[in-house]
Amino acid sequence: MGYSLRNISFSYGDQRIFQDMSLSLESGLFHGVLGPNGSGKTTLLDLLTGHLHPRQGCVLFERRSLNDFSRRDMARKTALVPQDFRVNFPFTVFQVVMMGRYPHLGRFSGPSRDDLDLVERAMIAAGVKAFVNRYVTELSGGEQQRVVFARALAQNAEVLILDEATSSLDIKHTLFLMRLVAGEVSKFRVTAIAVMQDINLAARYCQTLLFLKNGGVAAHGPVAEVLTEAVIREVFEVEAKVYFDKEINCRQVVFL
């Protein structure tokens, strides 16, 4: 189950991003996506959510082509936390988080008690319940990002997709939300796919790492297998030392 990309090719005009790329992302795991600028990390997420379509090849989700799913179906199954969230209208935090339930509501139906309970639990989990009646336009960028996390949790989707979703957060809230995502994966078998810039953060919380470069997969597999000095040299063209940190029980990287 999960995602399977078969012989994917994609370009923006004359700019090739992927060429005949194939890979599988198993369900129920926390996948980290890494690579240099321009390697196609965000484009990959757009292909997985159906926002973009490959020029060649196909994307399968649960062994079915994404083309077989309606937008509403995909909104029920996948929740996206973008890097940059902007709301120009004075919605309250409650209203924004409630948007996560819209794919599950009938055309003329209001939210049920279960919907309201999911929204409240999501706000509590993401640490934004104290902001419930504030307008999102009054919040800081980091506070808004936590609201978007809560909206994604309220969606109660099978797949949680994060596009550099912690880039506007301080260290405390970054660690808090990474633990939150890892907990969703562990407890509820949610599939998390996160584009990240911080290799050490990815190594600490993800179970698999996918390195992209030059239109394809440079390395992909469990953290202990693919996070090596040779892979970092090949992908990022920098020298590094990879070591096992006993304090946090995972591999970490020091750049030389």
> What pLDDT, in 10s, does the model give residues 111-168?
999 999 999 999 999 999 999 999 999 998 889 999 999 999 999 999 999 999 998 8
CA 198 to centroid of chain Cα atoms: 14
Percentage of residues in the chain having pLDDT higher than 90: 88
* pLDDT for the residue numbered 225: 97
Residue 131's φ and ψ, nearest 5 degrees, are -95, 5
- C-alpha 251/C-alpha 226 separation (Å) is 11
User: Given this model, what pLDDT does residue 106 score?
Assistant: 76
Phi-psi region of 8 (alpha: psi -120 to 50; beta: other; left: phi over 0): beta
Write out pLDDT tens, residues 76-105: 999 999 887 777 788 999 999 999 999 998
* Backbone phi, psi, residue 238, to 5°: -135, 155
Place of tokens 């997709």: 161
H runs (alpha helix) in the chain: 41-49, 71-77, 93-98, 113-126, 141-154, 171-188, 199-205, 223-226, 229-236
Query: What span, in angstroms and rounded, lies between the C-alpha atoms of 38 and 214?
Result: 9
pLDDT tens-digit series, residues 227-256: 999 999 999 999 999 999 999 999 999 999
If you search the block for the tokens 């924004």, which residue do you land on?
96
- Could you read off the pLDDT of 177-220 as tens digits, one per residue? 999 999 999 999 999 999 999 999 999 999 999 999 998 999 99
Domain ranges, ordered by start, for the chain: 3-255
Element (H, E) at 237: none
Count of CB atoms within 10 A of residue 26's CB? 13
Domain 3-255 grouped into CATH 3.40.50.300: yes
Pairwise CA distance, residues 97 & 119, whole Å: 6
